[in-house]
Amino acid sequence: MREGHSLYEQIAAERRLLSKVREQADLVLDTTQIKPRELKARLERIVLNQKESLGIDVDVMSFGFKHGVPLDADLMFDVRFLPNP
């Protein structure tokens, strides 16, 4: 986190930096109001509705840091700053 900048300022800066990537995206998922289970269901619908097999599996899980990061996770997003649903 950059010193002297609020979380909201940093999120806005990140959005500006990624704006070109977002413009090129085929799909943007707003996860603001959805729970992990719903995100998993949406991703499954998107992936399973593809005409060609993408050869990927997506598992969305939540875990407690006190137990450590899951060893089989390829990507892990730290969202502890978000309110707990």
Query: Residues, the chain, total?
Result: 85
User: What residue has token string 């598992």?
Assistant: 59
Q: What is the pTM of this model?
A: 0.46
Place of tokens 């899951």: 70
| Best CA proximity match to 82, nearest among 36, 25, 44 | 36
pLDDT digits over 5-29, tens only? 888 888 899 889 989 988 998 888 8
- Token readout for 15 is 């959005």
pLDDT at 51 over 70: no
What six digits make up the tokens of 85?
A: 């649903």
CA distance 1 to 48: 37
Structure tokens at 14: 């990140």
